[in-house]
Amino acid sequence: MKKKSIIKMIVDLIMTILLPLLMIQALAGEELHEWIGIFMFLLFILHHLLNFNWHKNLLKGKYSVVRSLGTVVNAGILLCMILSAISGILLSQYVFAFLNVNQGISFARAAHMICTHWMFVLTSFHLGMHLKIMKGYMEQARGKKLGTVSSRVFAILFAVIGVYGLKVFIDTKLWQYMFYQAQFMFYDFNRMAFGVYLDYVSMMVLFAVIGYFVSDRLKKISMPKK
Amino acid sequence: MKKIKVLVLMLILVTLLDGCGNTSNEASENTQAATTSSKNETASEEAGLNESEDQNTLENAGSNVLIAYFSRIGNIDSEHEIDAVSSASVVTQGENILGNMEYMAELIRDVTGGDIHFIETSKQYPSEYDSSDNNELDVYVNKENRENARPELATHVENMDDYDVVFLGFPNWYGDMPMAVYSFLDEYDLSGKKIYLFNSSGGGGPRDAYSKTSGLEPDAEVEKNIFSVSHSQVAQLTDQDMQDWLSEIGYGN
Ligand code: HEM
Ligand SMILES: Cc1cc2nc3c(=O)[nH]c(=O)nc-3n(C[C@H](O)[C@H](O)[C@H](O)COP(=O)(O)O)c2cc1C
């Protein structure tokens, strides 16, 4: 395994683990959230450098339906990430408190909530579109290919977790935060933070499953001959 | 075809899961009805009626219950008029405009007969609070939070020793209790007293007010079950809702 792909794999893995942790901001701890948010942003930049080919090839080649969708999703993630980081820094109560920004604070608060939630959904979708890469990581880690049986087991596992994720999505009314129908986020402090973390993981799986199915379908549309 | 089957299966599973899960993520769970035996309640209600005439007079000894609350209404300057329609933070009673927490405090007084204490800051908050970005109140409160300020209070409870029970009400101000509530908690040693928290919010709930309060008053007994509603529901609250909460937490037993 090449050194670069090992780094890629580790960066992707850490980002995947950190994203749900960032989403449970107040439960994880407000100061910790700010540090992890900054770290996430740095990893994001690294992720772009490691996948720089994407930028190089943006203006090359044909745009199939899947590729177009992927490009739109990626552009959305890029935008949301930058806005999340900027608004987060403006809102900061600890790490960047010395900047003491108070003007524009209401706008930053709204922007942070909307952008982080869109980023969460789009990133999960993006993960699903690239599930093959994830599978590749796993195969490399095991040193051999996944058989049909274990593939099936994973598929069922993802489906079950995804169904639970749908339930969490409905219960938390996550779309309210995406479309700013709710001004403030609700966190249940009576629950264990780790449980809420797993809830967000399950929502990630839900959107990853959707991303996988959608791109799979679209690939077939783009290649009608086979 | 196979995928459609999978989808249908997923949908069925969702409905099944939805039935058994604990879906109470709304902050309104406390308003559920609970059957009450009205033994001591009638007594306390009478007491409440007697004292309810002259609120804010803490001298009228007799009750061992204090109902302290903070509210935006009453703590802001008069530069801008309070817009009762666009602001979700008020309850109108005829001519009167009450803060949400004030209204809730009065319901608790109706039921417990306690003495009301309004937590008022010496320096008033900006009254400009609308949906516009950068309204003065947002900017001011954000600064206060960031500095972890302890605004000076204009009102004080002279006879705190007389109280065994303290109801403490606060709105959610940017994910926290207003800093003036911390000033209040810093000012008094509530050791040995029972503390009940009540709250209204724009959907964010009481957040970690329970652990914050018990941290600041380690020798008080803080009730974990906080009465919390969203500000759109405050005006619909009645004495009965308070009674239900109190019996749920075993108040007066
Ligand atoms: C980059 C990925 C990030 C994600 C996914 C993320 C996610 C979130 C979420 C879901 C919330 C809760 C929203 C709410 O309660 O209104 C939040 C709040 C917050 N975040 Fe982030 N965040 C990120 C980066 C940052 C950074 C870099 C900082 C600052 C250094 C930051 C500072 C804050 C602050 C101060 C709050 C509280 C806002 C408030 O009081 O309403 N975040 N974040
Ligand atoms: C400065 C300010 C900040 C607020 N921040 C929040 C918040 O972070 N989360 C929330 O759910 N509601 C928030 N609200 C809404 C209030 O908690 C809610 O309207 C409450 O019912 C107001 O009560 P009052 O009329 O007694 O002041 C905020 C209100 C104000 C004025």
3-class state of residue A61 by DSSP: coil
pLDDT at B132: 62
Chain A nearest-CA residue for B136: A103
- Distance between CA B100 and CA A143 in Å, rounded? 62
Within-domain flag for A166 = yes
Cβ(B99) to ligand 2 under 6 A? yes
- What pLDDT, on the 0 to 100 scale, is given for residue B61? 52
Mean pLDDT along residues B151-178: 96
Helix axes A193-222, A3-23, angle to 10 degrees: 120
Kindly report the pTM of this predicted structure. Answer: 0.86
Range of the domain at A165: 67-222
**pLDDT reported for residue B34:** 32
How many Å lie between the alpha carbon of B26 and the closest alpha carbon of chain A? 8
CB-CB neighbours of A198 under 10 Å: 15
Amino acid at the residue B96: N
The Cα-based distances of A194 to A27, A33, A56, A186 in angstroms read 9, 15, 40, 16
φ/ψ of residue B47, rounded to 5:
-60, -40
The pLDDT of residue A206: 98
Q: B12: pLDDT confidence band, cut at 50, 70 and 90?
A: low
Q: What is the pLDDT of residue A139?
A: 83
Atom 9 in ligand 1: residue holding the nearest Cα = A23
Contact A213 B3 (CB under 8 A): yes
**pLDDT tens digits, one per residue of B41-97:** 333 333 334 434 444 444 445 689 999 999 999 999 877 777 655 556 667 776 778
Per-residue three-class SS string for A144-197 = CCCCHHHHHHHHHHHHHHHHHHHHHHHHHCHHHHHCCCCCCCCCCCCCCHHHHH
pLDDT at B111: 95
How many independent structural domains does chain A possess?
A: 1
- Condensed to tens digits (0 to 9), the pLDDT of residues B203-247 reads 999 999 999 999 999 999 999 999 999 999 999 999 999 999 999
Contact across the interface for B172 and A184, Cβ inside 8 Å: yes
Highest mean pLDDT among A34-38, A105-109, A144-148: A34-38
Interacting residues of B97 by C-beta distance below 8 A, sequence separation 6+: B73, B82, B84, B90, B91
What is d(CA B89, CA B10) in angstroms, rounded to the nearest whole number?
42
In a domain, A129, yes or no: yes
For chain B, say whether A187 makes contact (Cβ under 8 Å): yes
Check B142 against A102: CB less than 8 A apart. Answer: yes
Label residue A78 by pLDDT band (50, 70, 90): very high
Q: Is residue A11 part of a domain?
A: no
Point out the ligand 2 atom lying closest to the alpha carbon of residue B174: 8
Say whether pLDDT at A135 is over 80. yes
Tell me, yes or no, if A31 comes closer than 8 A to chain B by beta carbon. no
Neighbours of B23 (CB within 10 A): 13
Banded model confidence at residue B11, pLDDT cuts 50, 70, 90: low
Ligand closest to the CA atom of residue A36: 1
Size of interface A-B (CB pairs under 8 A): 79
Cross-chain residue pair B205–A186, CB shorter than 8 Å: yes
Chain A residue closest in CA terms to B173: A184
The answer to whether B202 touches B230, Cβ cutoff 8 Å, is yes
Average pLDDT value over all residues in chain B: 80
Residues with Cβ within 8 Å of B191's Cβ and at least 6 positions away in sequence, in order, are B217, B218, B219, B220
Tens digit of pLDDT for each residue in A40-50?
999 999 999 99
Q: Whose CA is nearest to atom 17 of ligand 2?
A: B201
On whether the CB atoms of residues B90 and B82 are closer than 8 A, the answer is yes
Chain A, residues 58-97, CB within 8 A of chain B, namely: 93, 97
Contact A172, A200 (CB under 8 A): no
Atom of ligand 2 nearest to the CA of B230: 21
**The tokens of A182 are what?**
């709710």
pLDDT digits (tens, 9 = 90+) for B135-146: 889 899 999 999
Half-sphere exposure of B176 (CA within 13 A, CB side): 15
> Which has the closest alpha carbon to B28: B225, B249, B205, B217?
B205
Interchain CB distance below 8 Å, A163 and B145: no
Q: Is B77 on the interface with A (CB under 8 A)?
A: no
CA distance A8 to B208: 38
Residue A63: what pLDDT?
92
**Does the pLDDT of residue A127 top 50, yes or no?**
yes
Q: Please tell me if the CB atom of residue B88 comes closer than 6 angstroms to any atom of ligand 2.
A: yes
∠A212-A217-A221 over CA atoms, to 5°?
145
Give the C-alpha separation, B85 to B87, whole Å: 6
Q: What is the 3-state secondary structure (H, E, C) of chain B?
A: CHHHHHHHHHHHHHHHHHHHCCCCCCCCHHHCCCCCCCHHHHHHHHHHHHHCCCCCCCCCCCCCEEEEECCCCCCECCCCCCCCCCCCCEEEECCEEEEHHHHHHHHHHHHHCCEEEECCECCCECCCCCCCCCCHHHHHHHHHHHCCCCCCECCCCCCHHHCCEEEEEEECCCCCCCHHHHHHHHHCCCCCCEEEEEEEECCCCCCCHHHHHHHHCCCCEECCCCEEEEHHHHHHCCHHHHHHHHHHCCCCC
Contacts of A171 in chain B (CB under 8 A): 21, 23, 25
Q: Is the CB of residue B105 less than 8 Å from the CB of residue B167?
A: yes
What pLDDT sits at residue B63?
84
Which pLDDT does position A175 carry in this prediction?
Answer: 98
Q: Which residues line ligand 1 (CB under 6 A)?
A: A 22-23, 25, 33-34, 37-38, 40-41, 84-85, 88-89, 91-93, 95-96, 109, 112-113, 116, 119, 185; B 174-175
For position A144, what pLDDT does the model report?
Answer: 83
* pLDDT mean over A144-153: 87
Rounded mean pLDDT, B8-21: 51
pLDDT of B184 higher than 50: yes
* A156 Cβ under 8 Å from any chain B Cβ: no
For the CA of A96, the closest atom of ligand 1 is 30
Contact B71, B102 (CB under 8 A): yes
**Is A15 within the bounds of a domain?**
no
Share of chain B above pLDDT 70, in %: 70
Please give the Cα distance from B63 to B111 (Å, whole number).
13
Residue A37 lies in a domain: no
More confident residue, A226 or B197: B197
Question: For the residues B100-107, what does the mean pLDDT come to?
Answer: 96
Q: What is the pLDDT of residue A224?
A: 57
> In this complex, is the C-beta atom of B215 within 8 Å of any C-beta atom belonging to chain A?
no
Residue A162 touches partner B, C-beta closer than 8 Å: yes
Q: How confident is the model at residue B118 (pLDDT cuts 50, 70, 90)?
A: very high
For the Cβ of B174 lying below 6 angstroms from any atom of ligand 2, the answer is yes
A165 falls within a domain: yes
Mark yes or no for CB contact A167/B17 under 8 Å.
Answer: yes
Judged by its nearest atom, the ligand closest to the C-alpha of residue B199 is 2
Which residues in chain B have their CB less than 8 angstroms from residue A202's CB? none
Give the chain B residue nearest A31 (alpha carbons): B146
Give ipTM to 2 decimals: 0.87
More confident residue, A140 or B192: B192
Mean of the pLDDT values across residues B23-31?
A: 37
pLDDT at residue B10 is higher than 80: no
